[in-house]
Amino acid sequence: MRSMRKLTDITAVILAGGLGTRLRSVLADRPKVLAEVNGRPFLAYLLDQIVEAGVRSVVICTRHKGEQVRSALGEAHRDARLLYSQEPAPLGTAGALRYARPLLQSDPILVLNGDSYCDTSLIDFFHWHQAQNANATLLLTEVPDTQRYGRVQIDESGRVLRFEEKGGAGGAGWISAGVYLIQRPLLETIPADRAVSIEREMFPAWIGRGLYGYGRWSRFLDIGTPEAYAVAAQFFDPRIYANRRE
């Protein structure tokens, strides 16, 4: 078992530097993580989930219009301190983590994509990662058609066997929900001299090195397209989430 046994000890990282190109027709004036959903920025819902799991330190990796993110969210969200890592150039999702390493004070770190939300227990996810003694664990959710997202194949113990690219064979299957637990030694393997994608480059490279997938059926939302963003208000029904605001 790893030394960190509670999420209160963990640093969470939100990858919030995406350009949001596909959303520009409906969201031209702000980063997609600040897309308004029922009067709140999308990122606020992710922060609610993180804080409610017990996390007290969050690093937000920004690039495109990063000053807007900092201005909107400030230095704290409820009980959590917010820190910012502003990329000086496009570094990719893995490169953003590498650049933010001086702010990452835990092992493992909890990483979340800033444009998706998986309605599941982060505490259960963390405990499963610890029990497997994994070096990295991807939160997986099952969808009726994996074609838009790409498919993740795991064995009966949860070890990741392979990834299938977006646009491949469709049908029901596991996809990455954009939430990861990663031990620090793996972060050291991210190349330092170029932009690097964690999804396309590092995860495949970590197969066979303690990479696991934690598969649970959960409600999942990715606001990366106008069609998906259009259902966000229903997904975050204010009758459910209003009592979480402070």
Give me the domains of the chain, ranges plus CATH numbers: 8-244 (3.90.550.10)
Tokens of 173: 């299957």
Q: Is the pLDDT of residue 153 over 90?
A: yes
Which comes out higher in pLDDT, residue 245 or 241? 241
Q: Which residue has the higher pLDDT, 3 or 116?
A: 116
Confidence band (pLDDT; 50, 70, 90) for 24?
A: low
Above pLDDT 90, what percent of the chain?
71
Closest CA to 164 of 215, 118, 200, 195: 200
Give pLDDT, residue 23: 65
With a cut of 50, say whether residue 50 has pLDDT above it: yes
Average pLDDT over residues 204-233: 93
Using the predicted structure, report yes or no on whether residue 206 has a pLDDT greater than 80: yes
CB-based contacts of 99, cutoff 8 Å, min separation 6: 61, 85, 87, 91
Place of tokens 């609610």: 48
Q: What's the length of the chain?
A: 246
Q: What is the mean pLDDT of residues 8-37?
A: 80
* pLDDT score at 55: 97
Looking at mean pLDDT, say which of 24-38, 123-137, 217-231 comes out highest. 123-137
Of the listed 6, 32, 65, 166, which one is catalytic?
A: 166
CB 103: neighbour CB atoms within 10 A? 17
pLDDT higher at 89 or 111: 111
Whether residue 21 has pLDDT greater than 70 = no
DSSP state of 243: G
Mean local confidence (pLDDT), 65-72 = 92
Average per-residue pLDDT for the chain: 90
**What is the spatial distance between Cα 214 and Cα 174, in angstroms, rounded to a whole number?**
10
For residues 40-51, average pLDDT: 96
Exposed e or buried b for every residue in 126-139, given b needs 16+ CB within 10 A?
A: bebbbeeebbbbbb
Residue 6 has pLDDT above 90, yes or no: no
3 state DSSP class of 124: helix
Please enumerate in sequence order all residues whose Cβ is within 8 A of that of 69, keeping only pairs 6 or more positions apart, or say none: 16, 31, 33, 34, 43, 60, 62, 84
* pLDDT interval class at 193 (50, 70, 90): confident
**pLDDT on residue 246:** 42
At residue 105, does pLDDT exceed 90? no
Residues 20-37, mean pLDDT to the nearest whole number: 74
Report, as an integer, the average pLDDT of 182-205: 94
Single-letter amino acid, residue 206: W
pTM of the predicted model as reported, rounded to 2 decimal places: 0.92
**Is 6 one of the catalytic residues?**
no
Around 217, how many Cα atoms within 13 Å sit in the side-chain half-sphere?
Answer: 4
